Amino acid sequence: MSHTVLVCDDAIFMRTMITDILAQAGFEIVGEAETGSQAVEKYKQLKPDLVTMDIVMPDMGGIDAVREICKHDPDAKILMCSAMGQQALVVEAIQAGAKDFVVKPFQPSRVLEAVQRVLG
Amino acid sequence: MDLSQYAELFLAESREHLSACNQLLLEWERRPAAPEPVGGIFRAVHTVKGMAATMGYARVADLAHRMENLLDHLRRGGRPPSDDTLQLLFRATDALEKAVDLAVAGRERDADVETVVVDLDRAVAALAPAAARAAAAPAADLVPSPPPLAGPIGGGAGRLVRVMLRLEAPLKGGRAMLIVRKAQSLGGVHGITPAPSAFEAEDFDGRFAFRLETSASPEEIEAAIRTVGDVERVAVGEDESRAPRVEGALEAGRTRHIRVDLRRLDALMNLIGELATARGRLNELAAEWRDPAIDDVAIQISRLSADLQTEIIQARMTPVWQVFDRFPRLVRDLARELGKQVAFRVEGKEIELDRAILDELGDPLVHLLRNAVDHGVEVPAERRKQGKKPEGEIVLSAVRERSSVAISIADDGRGIDRARVLGKAKREGLVDARAESLSDDQLLRVLARPGFSTAEAVTSVSGRGVGIDVALTKIRALGGSIEIRTELGKGTTFVLRLPVTLAIVRALIAAVGPERYALPLTYVAETVEFGTVAMTTMEGREAMVLRDRVVPLVHLRGLLGVSGEAPPARRPVIVLELGERRAGVVVDGMLGQQEIVVKGFEAPRGTLPVFSGATIMGDGVPALILDAAGLL
C-alpha cells in the first residue's frame, strides 16, 4: 500500500510541486493545508503516514503546528520544508519534533531521500 | 525536472502575494504603529522568495530575500517604520512585481533590481548597525571555534562520537540537530560541542562531537547516524531506533480546490453555447413532432444543459477584489503626486462578475478613479476654504442588482460645473445654442466627446477628456452603461452597470419585417401596446406618456430602414430602462423570451451603433442583438 501524505504550505505553487514530486514517486496525497491550524486539524482527521510542513504560514506557523501534532501523536513523521537562511527555525522545528527537512529550491531526488529517511 | 509547467502558477500566485503586499503596505502607512501588517508582508515576500528560488529565478529570489531582511528587522524592532522606509518598500514591491513578470517571460536579466537592492541593504544597515556587523563577521562574534575533529572533548561517561557533515549539505545545523536526536534514541547524550545554540548560526561548519552512553556497538552507532543523511565522516571512540509504527487506515479526504486555466473555461463556455443552440433547435423540432417520447428527452436535455450552463457560469465568476485590490495603491500614489489627501474606501469586494468582464474593467475604472483624484477632490487648502474636511473621500463600490452589477465611483470633491461645460459645449456646437441647462445624460454625452475637456491645466494624470470617452466605449462594448450624477461643490458619482455574465443572456426576441432581433432582458422594463397609451412629443421627438412619465419612442422599422409590407396594426412597444433613462422601442411583433449565446460582432463601417453582438437562433439563422445603451 502506498504511503499517505498531507502537504502543508500556504503557496499553491509549492503544494503543487511537492504533490507532483511525491505523486510521481507513488505516494498518495490525501490532503493539503494552507495554514498551521489547518495542518493540525487535517492531521487528526486523516492520520497520514507523512506530513510535509512549510515553516512560514499565516494563522499558525509550521513550527507551532509541529508541536501541536506531536502533542497529539509523538510518532508523527513530519518533514519540514525550509529555505536557505532558516537554520535557526529548522533547529527549532527539529527540537519540536520534526523528523527531517528539505531546503528550497527542491530537488526531487533530495525530497524523496528525505521522505525515505523519515518513513524509515 | 521541467519547471516551465509551473511558470503560470508561479506568476498567478506571486501576483496575488504582491497584491496582498501592496494592501498591507497601505494599511501600514495609514497605521504605522499597527503590528499586524509587517508580519503579513514578510510572509508574502517570503513565499515569493521560496517559489522564485524553486523556479531558478535568482534575481527575483535575491530581491525578495533583501526585502525579507529589512522586514525581519522591522518586525523584530517593533517600531513604526519611517516614511522613507515605507516608500522604499513600495518601490521594492514594484520592482519585485516587474522582476517576476520579466522572469516568467524569460527575460529575468532585464530586471533592474540593483538600485533597490542597494537601498534595501542600506536601510537594513541603518536600522540595525550591530546586527549588520554581526552578520558580516558572525564567526568571530557568535560561534565558538569548532573543535578539531580529533582530540578529546570534555570528560565523562559514554563513547565519544565525532561527526563531520558533507561540505555541500544545506542547513548543517538542522542536520546536526537531527543527528543528536538520532543519538538520543540510542541512549543518553551529553557534552555536545559546540553547544547546540551554535547549530542555529548560518555559518555552522558541520563539525561537532558529543558523548553517547549506550549499549549499542560502534558499528550500530555509526550506521544509525549515517541514516540521518548528509554525513561525511563519523568516528566512534572506545566506550536502536524504534521500528516505525505501521500506520492506521487512512480516511478519505481530498483537496477541494483545483486551479483551472481560464482558456479551459472559455472553451467550455463556447461548447455550452453551441449546446444551447442545439437545445433550442431540438425543442423546436420536438414541438413539431409532437411525440411524447421525444418531448421527454428534449425536456431532460433542456434541464441538464441549463444546469450545466449555470455551473459553468458560476465557475467563471470572480470576485471584484481581484481587480479592485490594486486601486488603493493607485489612488494613494496619485494623491501623493498631486498633493491631495484622499481617504479611499472599497465596498462590496466580494461581489462576483464574469471573469471576462472583470478583466476588461480595469482600464475604465483606472480612468474614472484618476479623474476623481485629479478633477474631483480639491487640494486640502481649497477644501478648507469650502468648509470641508481637508481629506477628500473616494468610494468605489460594487452592488449586485437584479441581473447586473452596479459599480460606482463617488468622490466628495468639487463636482462638475454644468454652466462651464454648457458654455464650452455651445461654443463647440455640441448642444443647441438655446439650451439653458444640461441634464445628467446630456452632460455625460458632452464629457464623453473625444477630446472634450474643461480642465484649465492639462495635467499628466488626466484632463484630456479621454478618460470618460475610453471608459464609456469600453463599458458599452461589454453590454453595460455609464451614468453620471454630479452636484457643484458636493462631488461626482459615476455608476457603471454591467451584465453579470457576457456569455449567455436572457433576451426578448422581437420581429421587425422579416428579421428577428434580440433585446437583453437586463434593460427591458416592460412592454405596452402601441396606440393604447397617450402620445406626446419631447424635444420634437415622438413620445408616449407612461404613468406620468414621458418616454421617447424609437421606431425600429424606421431606424433600420425596413421597407416592404406595412407593419401590423397592433404593435408592441418594448420599454428599455437604463438607470434613469427610458425609451420605448416600437417593433412589429414579439416572439417570446429566450436564452441567447452572445457572439462577438465586428460591425462593418457605417453600421448603426445600435448592435452589441449577434446570436444564432434555434433554427440556425443568425439574429442581431440590440444595444440598449445605443438605442437610448
- List, run by run, the mean pLDDT of 10-residue segments along chain B (632 residues): 79 89 90 85 89 86 91 82 90 93 89 88 78 41 37 61 87 92 88 83 84 86 90 76 34 52 77 78 82 84 82 84 87 90 91 86 88 90 92 93 86 87 78 77 75 48 57 78 88 89 80 88 82 81 84 87 76 82 88 76 70 76 82 75
Cβ-defined contact of B253 to A117 (cutoff 8 Å): no
Hey, are the CB atoms on B202 and A85 less than 8 Å from each other? yes
Mutate to test the interface with A, among B42, B47, B68, B124 (most CBs of A within 10 A): B47
Position B144 scores a pLDDT of 37
Burial B183-196 (b: 16+ CB within 10 A, else e): beebbebebbbbeb
Helix (H, G, I), strand (E, B) or coil at B48: helix
Q: How many CA atoms lie within 13 A of B182 on its CB side?
A: 24
Q: Which residue has the higher pLDDT, B361 or A51?
A: A51
Q: Which residue of A has its CA nearest to B173?
A: A87
Task: Report the chain B residue with the minimal C-alpha distance to residue A116.
Answer: B227
Beta B404-411 vs B491-499: how paired, if at all?
antiparallel
Residue A4 DSSP label: E
Q: Is A90 on the interface with B (CB under 8 A)?
A: yes
pLDDT of residue B156: 62
CB contact under 8 A, A86 and B171: yes
- Which residues on A lie below 8 Å from B172 (Cβ)? 87
**Per-residue cell: B606:** 457605417
The radius of gyration of chain A's CA atoms, rounded to the nearest angstrom, is 12
**Which secondary-structure segment (H or E) carries B554?**
strand B549-555
CB contact under 8 A, A47 and B251: yes
The residue of chain B nearest to residue A48, with distances taken between CA atoms, is: B250
- Residue B293 C-alpha, separation from nearest chain A C-alpha, in angstroms: 45
**CA B630 to CA B632: how far, in whole Å?**
5
pLDDT score recorded for residue B335 = 92
CA B204 remoteness from chain centre: 44
CB of A119 within 8 Å of any CB in chain B? Answer: yes
What count of CB pairs under 8 Å joins A to B?
130
B51 burial type by CB count under 10 A (0-12 exposed, 13-18 middle, 19+ buried): buried
Q: Which residues of A touch B243 (CB under 8 A)?
A: 120
Higher pLDDT, A76 or B260: A76
* Confidence (pLDDT) at B35: 79
Nearest chain B residue to A29 by CA: give it. B254
Nearest to A46 among B171, B177, B251 (CB): B251
Closest partner residue to B50 among A48, A101, A104, by Cβ? A104
Out of A46, A87, A101, name the one closest to residue B200 (CB): A87
Predicted pLDDT of residue B250? 36
The whole-angstrom separation of Cα B69 and Cα B77 is 12
pLDDT reported for residue B503: 66
Residue B602: the pLDDT is 66
Taking CB atoms and an 8 Å cutoff, what residues of chain B touch A85? 65, 202
